[in-house]
Amino acid sequence: MVDVVEYAGISKKIAQLKPLCVIKG
């Protein structure tokens, strides 16, 4: 199972990566 804290950390990483993907897009 994925820990809640770990999931929150992954969500933050994804949120940070999305803008980069849009810029590179």
Question: Would you state the pLDDT for residue 8?
Answer: 87
**HEC readout, 1-23:** CCCHHHHHHHHHHHHHHHHHHHH
- Domain of residue 7: give its range: 1-25
* pLDDT score of 21: 66
Check residue 1 and give its pLDDT: 63
Handedness of CA 8, 10, 16, 21 (dihedral sign): negative
- The number of domains in the chain is 1
pLDDT tens digit sequence for 1-23? 668 888 888 889 888 888 776 77
Report the greatest alpha carbon distance in the chain: 33
The pLDDT of residue 25 = 59
